[in-house]
Amino acid sequence: MRVLITGGAGFIGSHLAEALLAADHRVTIMDNLSTGRFENIAHLVGHPAFHFAIDSITNDIVLDRLTSECDLVFHLAAAVGVELIVRQPVHTIETNVMGTEAVLRTAARYRARVLIASTSEVYGKGSRVPFNEADDVLLGPTNKSRWAYAASKMVDEFLGLAYYQEQGLPVTIMRFFNTIGPRQTGRYGMVIPRLVAQALAGQPLTVYGDGQQSRCFCDVADVVRAALALAARPDTAGEVFNIGGSEEISILDLARLILQVLFPQAPPADDDPRIQFVAYADAYAPGFEDMRRRVPDTSKLRALTGWAPAIPLPETIRRVADTLGRQAPISERVRA
Ligand code: UDP
């Protein structure tokens, strides 16, 4: 296949590019390096089947040319990270809605397949766990900018599915849940790179709220495997798929697990001073609303492709620590 990855220099996009090249596909990435980083793809430059354009997907001319040369588009370019989203709501809404609109409009011109990266955020405050693709969604009020992100990704999904229904464009939606792994940065709020960097720097691990909120983390290699399985199935057009981990863990237990994995000689004690609780209002903004539990139901993807996550959380934590440890200096990473 000839594949275009928008946001291909980002955390998930760069891993996807590697996997596609390893499977002998031709890969072009388009990334404006807003949250993506050139160092994520530097090792791919020079590969005969790899091309890249440092540009925004709102550059119609470049997007048109690159799309005309491909069979399939992985659309991953988006505003990401709860901290960034809360800080820059205009950028978030415009990037997500206008970017996806441009990608779909252009793909329709060349009848290219599109797989859109969406997010578990669209389930909002839904309380029926685990979250199923057919569930209702429940978002908070419009004066809380976190929900603008969820709403913008919902518009992306609606638009993609509308292109499928109205124009027969083969669009598949991938709802990613808390993907983790090397190259994810803590700069935009993500908990695992932040806590691992803090632990490596000998700083307290910041647990927001009471730490009883829970997530299911999924290694990026497992997520990429799911994305490739969907890419191999054109019959998934018009459908939405959850992609996420199966082990639910509270953020407090996550902080304890990180300490245990990184410092087996000094396992966490009750009321461990290396863990610091931070009020949500101090971490984000007054009135911030978090999701209490977020658990995916991935039975739809499993039934279709046999996919299941395989990499245990401690192993990913170790790999994240290895890559962060190689990037000096840790203290700067924590500040970032
Ligand atoms: N979190 C935390 N400490 C941090 C960063 C995040 O306790 O330094 C919490 C955050 O409030 C949320 C969870 O960890 O409850 C996961 O946050 P992340 O931003 O990684 O993903 P989210 O699930 O919010 O999209």
The pTM (predicted TM-score) of the whole model is 0.95
Distances (CA, A) of 65 to 16, 25, 60: 21, 19, 9
Neighbours of 163 (CB within 10 A): 21
Are 155 and 97 in contact by the 8 Å Cβ rule? The answer is: yes
164 included as an active-site residue: no
Nearest to 85 by CA among 129, 43, 119: 119
| 146 vs 102, residue with greater confidence | 102
Q: Which of 128-142, 215-229, 288-302 has the largest mean confidence?
A: 215-229
pLDDT at residue 333 above 60?
no
Which residues are near ligand 1 (CB < 6 Å)? 82, 178, 189-191, 194, 206-208, 213, 215, 251, 290, 294
pLDDT digits (tens, 9 = 90+) for 10-51: 999 999 999 999 999 999 999 999 999 999 999 999 999 999
pLDDT at residue 154 above 50?
yes
Burial 171-204 (b: 16+ CB within 10 A, else e): bbbbbbbbbbbbbbbbebbbbbbbbbbbbbbeeb
Q: What is the CA radius of gyration of the chain?
A: 19
pLDDT at residue 289 above 90?
no
Say yes or no: domain 2-179+218-243 is CATH 3.40.50.720: yes
pLDDT at residue 327 above 80?
no
> What is the average pLDDT value for the chain, to the nearest integer?
94
CATH code of the region 191-212+248-295+310-335: 3.90.25
| 331 vs 270, residue with greater confidence | 270
**Which ranges in the chain are annotated with CATH 3.90.25?**
191-212+248-295+310-335
Distance (angstroms) between ligand 1 centre and the Cα of 18 equals 27
- The whole-number pLDDT of residue 336 equals 43
- The whole-number pLDDT of residue 272 equals 96
- The atom number, within ligand 1, closest to the CA of 119 reads 25
- The atom number, within ligand 1, closest to the CA of 121 reads 25
* Greatest C-alpha distance within the chain: 60
**Which ranges in the chain are annotated with CATH 3.40.50.720?**
2-179+218-243
φ and ψ of 73, to 5 deg: -120, 125
Share of the chain above pLDDT 70, in %: 97
User: 162: Cβ–Cβ under 8 A, 6 or more apart, which residues?
Assistant: none
Q: Which of 134-148, 173-187, 286-300 has the largest mean confidence?
A: 173-187
Question: Which residue in 123, 149, 188, 208 is the catalytic one?
Answer: 149
